Chain A
């Protein structure tokens, strides 16, 4: 019963998050393009686009790895769902209330690398394969600073439970206590969700990269999975740095959701402000700037915790 409820709640939240992300992306894009967006149109368009992909039949390539190709979007969505499930909505209200929530989150997001590589490798086609190569390089760069910022939050709470991290922010959010945390987390979060400036594996200069051969429902599933990963990033950002359910007047879960949408809006709008960074330069940036910054964050948090 409890498991069924957890699955239902997580899927509902994830689905809603994916749709909100798609709408936010359209609104942010229209703003940058200098168009006045019609809210009614933008609200319906993601559903219409999804329906358009469902109408289109799947295509195939010469000797693809069919099993892996079908598995990749499912793996991506599952990774996002497990990651989201480890983030509590309110005190004692989490789909997966494990004592070491951060470890579960980290384990789930590490599957994203596998999913993207499979998605690029399995169509047996050059541009998807190049996209997969790029994500392998990207995957050597963003996870370390990404996880280090979360470890800093865990250090301050002296716990790996996400609920404890939120509780430790009562009165003072990690946004203030660890000012380096959220910015590094958001930039590397783009990397995890291959979004905005770090949309390298599915980039326009590879004609869509790992998605270049995807059509119909498979293309839709992949896009949903990618949006879901961004939702999982935003939810953890809200919990680890913005005090999760803490807030006046409104009930805790509402605060968690509002803060998650706010982080989503920053991620999506920010993604429209910066061009794609070349993989070579991003690897350099990650190792020379982001990892040292994240380490400073860890040391400072550790010193404070002592």
Chain B
């Protein structure tokens, strides 16, 4: 009686979903946050539905199999193809495909069936073996006396090294990603932490690069309408700020930003201005983001908003006659820190809405288009790739929270980085 009441209530709650973001799925998955019938959770430990969105390469399939087993029972996997080629995934991951364009109903149905016990929970994919079996000898069962060369439980002991204050402290090696929802989708990092300070950081391979099935760059030949381009820019920056606000501890305001991005931002320029003011006034953001993650104009050369946030007056739109006719002047900030990059993107979003409203049918004529992340040559490297390479350098020596804020402030997109590097090869 009580149990069925609980199950019935649970089935009515927002379905807890952990998303796996494959090729072409990032924006579609972000949009799901606007639907109150489901909730995207931070940790697989609180999800019931594993939503595999878009196509996965080998590396992401492997990571997804590991995450799958971290979901508590009852659990189910759903595949949301989003037009991607999913052949590689079949047989390696359990679960049913979603037929409809909108996955929410299918997710809700699966969750309700799980909660009521009508759908059997998926078993583990990996074997339940102890990675460091009990060996019977020694105080920790490590199989020898003492610390057996510093590997109790078969794990290397935390080594020691001087920290930034000159003390000898333990180091904790961690491998993070590619499905960690606090990093951009696909980002893999190996970090060495002392306390919560990043001592070393190395980028892992880009999991979107593993198959060369897509070779088209993000820009195709032909004229680009300024109105469309600028609207896309405003949407892009609003989506970015939505994600950044979520990580910064203001998820509700993030939803407002996301709703603006997904509706028609051209009709709500005043709401975007209100959002920008709220962000500007937020004391927590000011305290946390000022003076951290400084990237000077030289290092950010050619990186669009990141360069302009450091005061570099560089913008492909400056060389374009159509933009000159609109009286375009780039938004600039001087400090080059995380806060400057937030302000830069909000400023560019507002400016983009203004330009879009005035552009009429004008088109970009040059060979280089100023994309939301920076200049994009019609043939060649997207700014997403060099942005990615900045990561290890800017997070070493920072606390973990700052490192997350800095990585977020770079607006990384590993899928875009992979596309262009494949195109270049």
Instruction: Contact check, A32 vs B16: say whether CB atoms are below 8 A apart.
Output: no
9-residue interface stretch from A9-17, A43-51, A110-118, A254-262: A43-51
Given contacts A30-B252, A32-B253, contact A278 B288 (CB under 8 A): yes
Residues of chain B with a CB closer than 8 A to A278's CB: 287-288, 399, 401-402
B73 interface neighbour in A47, A49, A56, A214, Cβ under 8 Å: A56
Instruction: Contact check, B400 vs A52: say whether CB atoms are below 8 A apart.
Output: no
Q: Is A275 an interface residue (CB 8 A)?
A: yes
9-residue interface stretch from A139-147, A148-156, A175-183, A204-212: A204-212
Chain A, interface size category, equals 35 or more
Instruction: Contact check, A133 vs B195: say whether CB atoms are below 8 A apart.
Output: yes
Q: Is A62 an interface residue (CB 8 A)?
A: yes
Instruction: Contact check, A34 vs B256: say whether CB atoms are below 8 A apart.
Output: yes
**A33 to B9 CA separation, bound complex (whole angstroms):** 25
**A34 to B246 CA separation, bound complex (whole angstroms):** 15
Instruction: Contact check, A205 vs B48: say whether CB atoms are below 8 A apart.
Output: no
Interface 1/0 per residue, B272-306 and A, CB below 8 Å:
00000000001111011000000000000000000
A54 interface neighbour in B10, B14, B43, Cβ under 8 Å: B10
Instruction: Contact check, A56 vs B74: say whether CB atoms are below 8 A apart.
Output: yes
Residues of chain B with a CB closer than 8 A to A55's CB: 6-7, 10, 74, 114-115
**Contacting residues of chain A (185-214) with chain B, CB-CB under 8 angstroms:** 196-197, 199, 203-208, 211-214
Instruction: Contact check, A54 vs B6: say whether CB atoms are below 8 A apart.
Output: yes
Residues of chain A with a CB closer than 8 A to B253's CB: 32-33, 272
A275 interface neighbour in B46, B193, B284, Cβ under 8 Å: B284
9-residue interface stretch from B174-182, B202-210, B231-239, B347-355: B174-182
Instruction: Contact check, B43 vs A275: say whether CB atoms are below 8 A apart.
Output: no
Q: Is A29 an interface residue (CB 8 A)?
A: yes
B100 CB to nearest A CB, Å: 23
**Contacting residues of chain B (240-261) with chain A, CB-CB under 8 angstroms:** 245-253, 255-256, 259
Q: Is B72 an interface residue (CB 8 A)?
A: yes
Residues of chain B with a CB closer than 8 A to A2's CB: none
B249 interface neighbour in A47, A134, A197, A285, Cβ under 8 Å: A197
A276 interface neighbour in B174, B196, B248, Cβ under 8 Å: B248
Residues of chain A with a CB closer than 8 A to B250's CB: 32, 272, 274-276
Given contacts A32-B252, A199-B249, A213-B43, contact A275 B401 (CB under 8 A): no
Candidate in B10, B181, B399, B404 with the most chain A CB atoms within 10 angstroms: B10
Residues of chain A with a CB closer than 8 A to B284's CB: 197, 274-277
A200 CB to nearest B CB, Å: 8
Q: Is B102 an interface residue (CB 8 A)?
A: no
**Contacting residues of chain B (387-412) with chain A, CB-CB under 8 angstroms:** 399-402, 404-405
**Chain A facing B: main interface SS:** helix
Residues of chain A with a CB closer than 8 A to B195's CB: 133
**A41 to B13 CA separation, bound complex (whole angstroms):** 10
Given contacts A30-B252, A280-B399, contact A212 B45 (CB under 8 A): yes
B407 CB to nearest A CB, Å: 10
Residues of chain B with a CB closer than 8 A to A48's CB: 9-10, 12-14
**A272 to B73 CA separation, bound complex (whole angstroms):** 32
**Contacting residues of chain A (17-60) with chain B, CB-CB under 8 angstroms:** 28-35, 41, 44-45, 47-49, 51-59
Chain B, interface size category, equals 35 or more
A199 CB to nearest B CB, Å: 6
Instruction: Contact check, B13 vs A51: say whether CB atoms are below 8 A apart.
Output: yes
Q: Is B172 an interface residue (CB 8 A)?
A: yes
**A54 to B115 CA separation, bound complex (whole angstroms):** 10
Residues of chain B with a CB closer than 8 A to A211's CB: 43
Residues of chain A with a CB closer than 8 A to B8's CB: 51
A130 CB to nearest B CB, Å: 5
Q: Is B361 an interface residue (CB 8 A)?
A: no
**Contacting residues of chain B (187-215) with chain A, CB-CB under 8 angstroms:** 193, 195-196
Given contacts A48-B12, A275-B250, contact A207 B115 (CB under 8 A): no
Instruction: Contact check, A44 vs B12: say whether CB atoms are below 8 A apart.
Output: yes
Residues of chain B with a CB closer than 8 A to A216's CB: 72
- Closest-by-CB residue of A relative to B255 is A33
B124 CB to nearest A CB, Å: 11
Q: Is B131 an interface residue (CB 8 A)?
A: yes
- Pairs across A and B, CB under 8 Å, 27 listed: A32-B250, A32-B252, A32-B256, A33-B259, A55-B7, A55-B74, A57-B73, A126-B172, A130-B196, A133-B196, A199-B249, A203-B401, A204-B42, A204-B182, A204-B246, A204-B248, A205-B405, A206-B182, A208-B43, A212-B43, A213-B43, A214-B45, A214-B46, A277-B283, A277-B287, A282-B287, A285-B287
B-side interface residues toward A, CB under 8 Å?
6-10, 12-14, 16, 36, 42-43, 45-46, 48, 70, 72-74, 114-115, 130-131, 153, 172, 174, 180-182, 193, 195-196, 245-253, 255-256, 259, 271, 282-285, 287-288, 399-402, 404-405
